[in-house]
Structure formats: structure tokens, C-alpha cells
Structure 1
């Protein structure tokens, strides 16, 4: 029942907030302008990241204490979100974005160092310094997936749809493992993005923007990494 409540709250917040943020985007001129590399023909508000973040956050506040893994994910997620908002407004260089994206990835990895060390010893069976290569691997994994979702956000509904499918998959798999916190995070973000998808389908009334696509990518990468580290199912990385 808790999962249903979180999903519904996230959906409702996002559904109500999207039209409002679309008006804000138009009023403040925070728009995705048509160009030779873009298929839309009119300027579209691109504040979707703020919408899905607040739908996600407000639903979690009712059932989850902001500590532990949740705290690390939220701190990292806020950094990614703000970076995306700035990028949507001033168009940052790829090099600068990549460097800053390393910070939230590092936060998630360092905060879960005990879990990673346990995984290295108990699952990888590595007892020397070689095992610590997992740290940079995880950091680049998170940054890589973050930008992968951003890259596919070129067609209406594509990045949003892929993210929702991935999140629901994590949720279903997590039910068998009893990963309550990760399940709540997954269903909260899925519910928020599902409501936003209604406005993101062709013809889109609002875009995720870099803020939304990178936030979704960061959360997917982090949830996937934590799922593997908690379950010990290393093979799952092959399907993420």
C-alpha cells in the first residue's frame, strides 16, 4: 500500500505542476528554441526536470526519512538538476558539465563506500588494491548513464519512456529482494515521470530539458549501481 501511495502522490504532484511550469518557462523565456538539429517547429518550455524532481521529492517525504542512501541520492540529484537548469539557460560546454557531473557521482560512491568494500570482498573475492578500481568504474558508470539518457532525449517521450520502463523494472526486481528504500525511490520517480509523459508525447507541450534528462539518468545509474551492490548480482550490469 505504501508503494501505491508514493506512486499516486508523485503522479498527482507532477501532473498538477507541469502546466504551471510550462507557463513559467514561457514567461521567463526558458525555452528550447527550434534549430537545424531539432525537429520541433516552435519554442517549447524545457523545465521538465523541476517538475519530475518535485513530484519525486514530495512523494518521498511522506514515507522515507532523508538519511543514508536517500540523502546521498538527493544531494547528488539536486546538484545534477541545478547543473541542468543552468545548462538549459546558458548552454554550458561539455567539458565543464562532465567535470561537475563527477561531483554528485563521487558523493554517491563515497557515501556507499562500506557497501562497495563489502561487495569487493564478498562478491568479487578480491582482497588487494585491484578491487578498488571499482570506485572509478562506478563513478564513470554514473556519469556515462547520466549523459546517455540526455543524448536520447531527442524524440518526444523517448527518454521519459525509457526511464519509466527501467524504473518499473527495478521496482519489480526489488520486490523479490525486499529493497524497500530503493523500491520507494524507483516508484516515486516512475510516478512523477509517468504524469509528465502525458505532456511530453508528440506534439510535446513541455520538454525534460537537460535538467530532467540528466536527473533521470543520474537516478537510474545510481539506483542500478546500488541495486547490484545490495543484491550481489553483478550480471545485472549487463542489462542496465
Structure 2
């Protein structure tokens, strides 16, 4: 809980200061989901990273000075290394213009080294529990294949459902909160410690990112959050729950492929008209577009807040199912 509190306060205060600096330096972007030329500070994930780092380093200090538990320190520092490497890739993407000059394939390739810290310490358990399949032992293929695929895949997938105020941070809170509960009930203490630091740092950032956002998360936040979800799952042997919680991102991938096949360069945001958001295309190429169309059909108008809440509600339902299966049914 102290790690959570330290991460929260650090993230909140650093993000607040970052907003001032970013606006003063002109590091701002247009809020595409609002009418008018509303500018918002970019790359706000910097505050999240600082909060996470302080939370994790507090846990390192506790294990070093109180418990003298070096094995836990190795995994905590490996988790921090994953976060810092993901943040570096995201920051370069946000600040140095890779968004305009780097292809999606190149972005994926640039995230490949993120998994190296977990591979180096042979993190995780090679025996995995897969939903509806059962338990399988992958041996050496787990650290050398599953870990990098999981980390890189999660980092890039989490970057796909984005673009609305508070969406990325709120999805992270639901997913990491669910994994934290499972880790606690299964006594996966390192995984739980990392999850609590992530939750605190995310909450501190979300306060500034929620509607109406004063800061955008940027790839600094999305790449790091996705990579850390995979890290928490690997450390706690929770690959099954993580896969189920990522169902919206699998749907997003299918919609993205649909857009590619139709020659559409997918954008997640909507077209603002009179306080409502209209999907930018006739067909749906993102989960956000699906939410906009559902709300328009049900109540005639899809506001930005309602779109985010509907997607969060879908994720929350998945979280309840996962908790039922893995906490109460003992999967």
C-alpha cells in the first residue's frame, strides 16, 4: 500500500508539472474529439513512469533493507527495466516525430528489446494454464519465445485502443486491478507488488487525463502499460487471465485488419458535432467506432465520456468473469 501511495503521489505531482512545462514549450496536440482548436499537453506518460519507478524502487529498498530478499529484487528491477525501455521507445515516438515517419512494422520492431530484461532473468513459469485448453509445459520455449511475444504483443496491442480522454488509463486500471486481485489471492507477491505500483502511478496520471483531459498519455504511457500488463502476468503465472482481459484488443486487431483490407488508415477518434461524436467512417474499424454507433442507436448521441464508459463497462464485465473463474472457481 505504501508503494501504491508513493507511485500515486509522484505520478500526480510530476504529471502536474509536466503539463506546465509541455504547454510552455509548445509540446501540445489538438484534441480531435472536441470542436474548436483545443490544445492539450502531449507525452504525459512521463509522470506515470516517474511514479512507477518510485513505487518499484521503494519495494526494492524494502526487500534489500528489511527482508534481505535478493531474488525478489532481481525481478523487481527487471520489471523496472522493462518499463524504462518501453518508455524510451514511446518517448522517441512521441517527441522526435516517429509518428509521422515510422511505419507500423518498424514500430513493432523497435519494441522487440523491451522483453530482454525478463528473458535475461528467466522470469515466469514454463507451465501455463490456458483457458479451455488446460495446463501445458513449454520448457525453454517459454522464456525465449512466449515472454518476448507476450511483452511485445501486449505493448503494441495496448497502443491500439486509444485517442479518447481517459480511455487508456481507465482500461489500464481495470486490467491491472483485476490482475492484482488474482495475484493477491494466489500469493504471487512480486506480481502483486508490481501491480500495486502500476495502479498507483496510473491513478495519479488518470486524474489529469480523465475528461476533459489536461494531458494526453502518448506512447510513453501506452507502450509501457501494455508491457507491464504482460510482465505482471508472467511474474504471477497469470497468462490465462491476461489473455481474457485483452479480448477488446483482439477485437481491435480484427477491425484494424478489416480497415487495411479496405484501404483505410484507421483512426480511433470520432468527428465532433454538437457535443456528440460521429464515427469517421461508414463501417467500424475500431472498438471506439462500435461504441459510438451503439450509443447513437440507443440514445441518439454518443458523447466522448459515454464512449469511454461503454468500453470500460465491457472491460469490467470481462474482469468480473475473470475474477469469478480464477478467484472463486480456482482456475
> So what's the TM-score if we normalise by structure 1?
0.83
Aligned positions, number: 223
Aligned to 1:175: 184
| Structure 1 portions without partners, runs of 5+ | none
Match of 1:226 among 191, 212, 235: 235
Aligned to 1:103: 113
More contact order relative to length (CA 8 Å, sep ≥ 6)? 1
Q: 2 CA distance for matches of 1:99 and 1:188?
A: 28
Q: 1 CA distance for matches of 2:223 and 2:177?
A: 18
> So what's the TM-score if we normalise by structure 2?
0.61
- 1:82 paired with 2:82, answer no
- Residues 119, 143 of structure 2: 8 Å contact kept: no
TM-aligned CA deviation for residue 208 of structure 1 = 0.7
In structure 2, the CA distance between the partners of 1:235 and 1:15, relative to structure 1 (3 Å rule), is closer
Question: Which whole-Å deviations, capped at 9, do the CAs of 1:109-137 have from their partners, x for residues lacking one?
Answer: 34226x44x537xx52467xxx6277323
- 1:239 paired with 2:244, answer yes
> How large is the RMSD of aligned CA atoms in angstroms?
2.3
In structure 2, the CA distance between the partners of 1:133 and 1:187, relative to structure 1 (3 Å rule), is closer
Aligned pairs for 1:48-127 (under 5 A) are 48-65=44-61, 67-92=73-98, 93=102, 94-112=104-122, 115-116=124-125, 118-119=126-127, 124-125=136-137
TM-aligned CA deviation for residue 98 of structure 1 = 1.4
Aligned pairs for 1:2-21 (under 5 A) are 4-21=1-18
- Residues 22, 47 of structure 1: 8 Å contact kept: no
TM-aligned CA deviation for residue 88 of structure 1 = 0.6
| Structure 2 portions without partners, runs of 5+ | 62-71, 129-134, 246-331
Question: Which whole-Å deviations, capped at 9, do the CAs of 1:52-96 have from their partners, x for residues lacking one?
Answer: 111111122223258311222212211110111111112321333
In structure 2, the CA distance between the partners of 1:179 and 1:99, relative to structure 1 (3 Å rule), is same
Aligned to 2:226: 217
Q: 2 CA distance for matches of 1:14 and 1:48?
A: 10
- Residues 15, 46 of structure 2: 8 Å contact kept: no
